[in-house]
Amino acid sequence: MSKEKTLIIGGGQAACQTATSLKSKKYDGEIKIFCSENYLPYQRPPLSKKFLMGELDKERLFFKPEKFYTENEISINLNSFVQRIDIENKEIFLENNKKENYDNLVIATGTIPRKIDSEKKISDKVFYLRSIEDVLNIRDKIKESKKVTIIGGGYIGLEVAAIINNLGLQVTIVEMASRILERVTSETISSFYTKVHRQAGVEVLTNTSVEGLSENNNGIEVITSNGGIVSDFVIVGIGVLPCDTLASESGIDVKNGILVDEFCRTSNDSVFSAGDCTMHPNIFYNKNIRLESVHNAIEQGKTVASSIIGEKISYNQVPWFWSDQYETKLQTVGLLDNYDDIIVRGDTEKQSFAVFYIKDNIIIASDCVNRPAEHMMSRKLISEKVLIDKDRLSDETIPIKEVVN
Amino acid sequence: MVKIIYIEHDGTEHPVDVDVDTSIMEGAVSNSIPGIDADCGGGCACATCMVFIGDEWKDKISSMSDEEESMLDFHEYKEDSSRLGCQIQVTEEFDGLKVKMPPSQH
């Protein structure tokens, strides 16, 4: 009998984790990874941080060196675009009519940046940030520029603003909503980061929607509801879309992401999915969610590996994220989902504080700025659903570890 | 390159060559040493690269930041000799360093 075969589509965190977890769980089938980029699977978080700054060589972004894949007999195929999946015959189709059959298929295709205007030809002065290649291009552009406009005041936009500001360029952030980070966090955190960026010299424009882009000899003009902004180039960070077309076209159920259950199984028995591209159930918040996060990619990668070898260990995680901007490290845990109270511990002026989001006297999420202890404690309190005393939580004379008796 | 010996919780030793100026965590990950997860990739954001380092190496290793100390404080298997692998840059002086791993990082 021939060996079982698992194919993995994608070259990111979830794809790599699935393969390494399969290996550590002694899976004895064949494993093949198909990456669309020309790089070994790599970490994305540093792209908008240290890698953009130029502090990290690209080799240090790779999760594993090439020899890892060779030694573990994982076939890694770069520049390999999967065109189509035939779920009936369990085959994937690559370019030049090459095809490959599978027993298990893992779709870990991640996301693509939402385009500002998909109809328009993309100018060489407009950049998106998703890949090593994108960042290398932005780094080259930074060297010859003095002014940049960033469209979108989400985490990517803000991290990039901080780095480029540090590199000495004049930065303007344009945000359509009434505050930056509106989609992901509270007013408290939004105001804090608005202030941090403005103090650093970044111009932050809210309630400003983009109506068009116009190129001229002086650079590129972003035409907004509040007038035009001319700069040397533009970076767009207005969110991402799940790469779920390959799945949907093959007949796998999708709904703003590839639908999976708690075992990361799709609507087809032989197809699994992990990472940013999945729409998955979260038991702590009792709903289906899609997450753009390293932690989720890792945990779902592990879940897929368990499911493939038949362990049946369900995904059961409180989400967490982090963001580095200037001298601040923000660590977020949980989802800000219908909270009824906010408790701030510490001092926003001192750039050291934690914001706890509370529902029925239980912490459901927290944003901690330069407060690792509060972050770690929150993880524990959220997952254990511990009842808290709000007065003790805000009282800094009580160490965070002793807030709950 | 220096030789670092990573020791799994069950005692299995992995002597490997690690580049100077990378971190103890990176040395483990790039050599596929089991027992160090490094979920956040070195951002001091996750506390999944904890290792134990003997007292005799204390003078040669950079001291701990408050941030690292706080993260470690919540690790289930924290001991006095605990450090986060991502926060320690490898120097020439590390040749022969032994680092031990906890039973789990979560």
Identify whether B106 is part of a domain: no
Identify whether B105 is part of a domain: no
For residues A259, A109, A111 and B44, what is the CA-based torsion angle, rounded to 10 degrees? 100
Residue-averaged pLDDT of chain A: 95
Would the pLDDT of A97 be above 90?
Answer: no
Would the pLDDT of A119 be above 70?
Answer: no
> B39 CA to chain A: closest CA distance, Å?
7
Residue A76 confidence class, pLDDT cut points 50, 70, 90? very high
Contact residues, chain A, for B14 at CB < 8 Å: none
CATH number of the domain bearing residue B44: 3.10.20.30
d(CA A343, CA A341): 7
Instruction: Classify domain A117-236 at the CATH superfamily level.
Output: FAD/NAD(P)-binding domain (3.50.50.60)
Q: How confident is the model at residue B19, as a pLDDT?
A: 93
Tokens of A351: 């750039």
Residue A394 confidence class, pLDDT cut points 50, 70, 90? very high
Cβ B32–A71 below 8 Å, yes or no?
yes
Q: Which amino acid is at A7?
A: L
Would the pLDDT of A118 be above 60?
Answer: no
Question: Which A residues in the span 149-178 are in contact with B, Cβ-Cβ below 8 Å?
Answer: none
Q: How confident is the model at residue A121, as a pLDDT?
A: 63
Q: Residue A302, SS3?
A: helix
Residue A60 forms contact with B (CB below 8 Å): yes
What's the total number of domains in chain B? 1
CATH code for the domain defined by A327-402: 3.30.390.30
Residue B15 forms contact with A (CB below 8 Å): no
d(CA B97, CA B16): 10
Q: How confident is the model at residue A122, as a pLDDT?
A: 65
Ranges of chain B with pLDDT below 70 = none
Mean pLDDT of A101-121: 88
Would the pLDDT of A183 be above 90?
Answer: yes
Place of tokens 């552009």: A141
**In chain A, pLDDT over 90 holds for what percent of residues?**
93
Cβ B40–A322 below 8 Å, yes or no?
yes
Cβ A46–B41 below 8 Å, yes or no?
yes
Query: Is this complex's ipTM strictly greater than 0.95?
Result: no
* Number of helical H runs and strand E runs in chain B: 2, 5
Q: Residue A14: name the closest of A331, A366, A260, A312 by CA.
A: A260
Q: What are phi and psi of A222, to 5 degrees?
A: -95, 115
Mean pLDDT of A268-281: 98
Which of B40, B67, B74 lies closest to A294 in CB terms? B40
Q: How confident is the model at residue A141, as a pLDDT?
A: 97
Instruction: Classify domain A5-112+240-309 at the CATH superfamily level.
Output: FAD/NAD(P)-binding domain (3.50.50.60)
Q: How confident is the model at residue B106, as a pLDDT?
A: 76
> A381 CA to chain B: closest CA distance, Å?
12
Q: How confident is the model at residue A197, as a pLDDT?
A: 98
* pLDDT, tens digit, 9 for 90 and up, residues A77-94: 999 999 999 999 999 999
* pLDDT, tens digit, 9 for 90 and up, residues A5-33: 999 999 999 999 999 999 989 999 999 99
Cβ A295–B46 below 8 Å, yes or no?
yes
Q: What residues does B53 pair with on adjacent strands?
A: B99
Q: Where are the domains of chain A?
A: 5-112+240-309, 117-236, 327-402
Q: How confident is the model at residue A1, as a pLDDT?
A: 61
Contact residues, chain B, for A24 at CB < 8 Å: 34
* pLDDT, tens digit, 9 for 90 and up, residues B30-55: 888 888 888 888 888 889 999 999 99
Contact residues, chain A, for B40 at CB < 8 Å: 45, 294, 322
Residue A322 forms contact with B (CB below 8 Å): yes
Would the pLDDT of A405 be above 80?
Answer: no
Q: How confident is the model at residue A218, as a pLDDT?
A: 81
Identify whether B19 is part of a domain: yes
Q: How confident is the model at residue B35, as a pLDDT?
A: 86
Cα–Cα distance list, B96 to A180, A253, A261, B36, B64 (Å)? 49, 53, 47, 19, 21
Which of A298, A324, A370 lies closest to B39 in CB terms? A298
| Domain span holding position B49 | 2-100
Would the pLDDT of A219 be above 80?
Answer: yes
In b/e form, how buried is each residue of A46-60, taking b as 16+ CB within 10 angstroms? bbbbbbbeeebebeb
Q: Which amino acid is at B41?
A: G
